[in-house]
Amino acid sequence: MNTVLDTVVIGGGAMGSAAAWALSRRGRQVTLVEQFGPGHKIGASHGATRNLNPGYHQPDYVAMLAESLALWDELEQESGVQLLARTGVVNHGPGGDLQKIAAALADAGIRAEFLHLAEAGERWRGIRFDQQVLHICPTAAS
Asked if the model's pLDDT at residue 142 lies above 60, the reply is no
Q: Which residues contact 54 (CB under 8 A, 6 or more apart)?
A: 62, 65, 89, 105, 110, 136
Residue 54 belongs to domain spanning: 49-142
Split into its structural domains, the chain has a count of 2
pLDDT tens-digit profile of 25-58? 999 999 999 998 877 788 776 677 777 888 889 9
- Does 53 lie in the same domain as 34? no
pLDDT tens-digit profile of 79-133? 999 988 888 899 998 877 999 999 999 999 999 999 999 999 999 999 999 999 9
> Is 77:127 a contact under the CB 8 Å cutoff?
no
- Does 20 lie in the same domain as 65? no
SS3 track for the chain? CCCCCCEEEECCCHHHHHHHHHHHHCCCCEEEECCCCCCCCCCCCCCCCCCCCCCCCCHHHHHHHHHHHHHHHHHHHHHCCCCCCCCCEEEECCCCCHHHHHHHHHHCCCCEEEECHHHHHHHCCCCCCCCCEEEECCCCCC
CB atoms within 10 A of CB 106: 13
Q: What is the CATH number of the domain that holds 67?
A: 3.30.9.10
CA 23/CA 31 separation, integer angstroms:
10
- Does 60 lie in the same domain as 39? no
